[in-house]
Amino acid sequence: MNPRNIFSLSAIAALGLAMLPGSAIAQTKSLKDQLVGTWTLVSYQGTATDGTKTVVFGAQPKGILMIDAGGHYAMVLTDPGRAKWKSNLRTQLSTEELAAASKGLVAQYGAWSVDETSKVLTRKVEGAFSPNLAGTEQTPTIALAGDELTVTDANSGVTGGRTDAVFRRAK
């Protein structure tokens, strides 16, 4: 083969690689790399130990999960149907208002890692709306299919049973 043929074949191969769809390239990324980004909540379903299913944050929950490449995460999940408060000052709210609002809120941040083989996401909670979560470690399993991430927590503090949260990559 002469140098001109080698160059031509190399150029054709490079062009072919450049034209591969993004999803084909993404498949070569590690699970950790695929998780990095911003995710919006699509659904959040709880399954109690007796099998009863509930939509914990209402039929159209709102939420965000932000995962960075440096190993930090932040997550806020809400029920948009929560009752409005009578005052904008938290210090003037009744115990009942605070209790009702807290049932429709999860907020936490901390450090994260993922086991590529077992697909277990480890969240080391540094701070959270629930003071009991700070300093704990959560180990839900994950499933990633394209732009959809399912996080299954077998021992949820939200329902006392299992929760399945589905997120979609933010565009």
Sign of the C-alpha dihedral, residues 72, 22, 42, 145? negative
Judge if 124 and 74 occupy the same domain: yes
- CA triple 143-149-155, angle to 5 deg: 65
Judge if 18 and 59 occupy the same domain: no
Instruction: Please give the chain's pLDDT, 171 residues, in tens.
Output: 665 555 454 545 554 555 555 545 445 899 999 999 999 999 999 999 899 999 989 999 999 999 999 999 999 999 999 989 898 998 899 999 988 888 899 999 999 999 999 999 999 999 999 999 999 999 999 999 999 999 999 987 666 789 999 999 999
Q: Give 9's contacts (C-beta < 8 A, 6+ positions apart).
A: none
- Expressed as residue numbers, the domain containing 5 is 1-27
Per-residue pLDDT at 106: 93
Judge if 159 and 75 occupy the same domain: yes
Judge if 78 and 21 occupy the same domain: no
Judge if 40 and 23 occupy the same domain: no
Per-residue pLDDT at 9: 46
Judge if 19 and 83 occupy the same domain: no
Distance separating alpha carbons of residues 168 and 149, to the nearest angstrom: 6
Counting the structural domains of the chain, the total is 2
What's the chain's length in residues?
171
Q: Give 62's contacts (C-beta < 8 A, 6+ positions apart).
A: 41, 77, 78, 79, 80
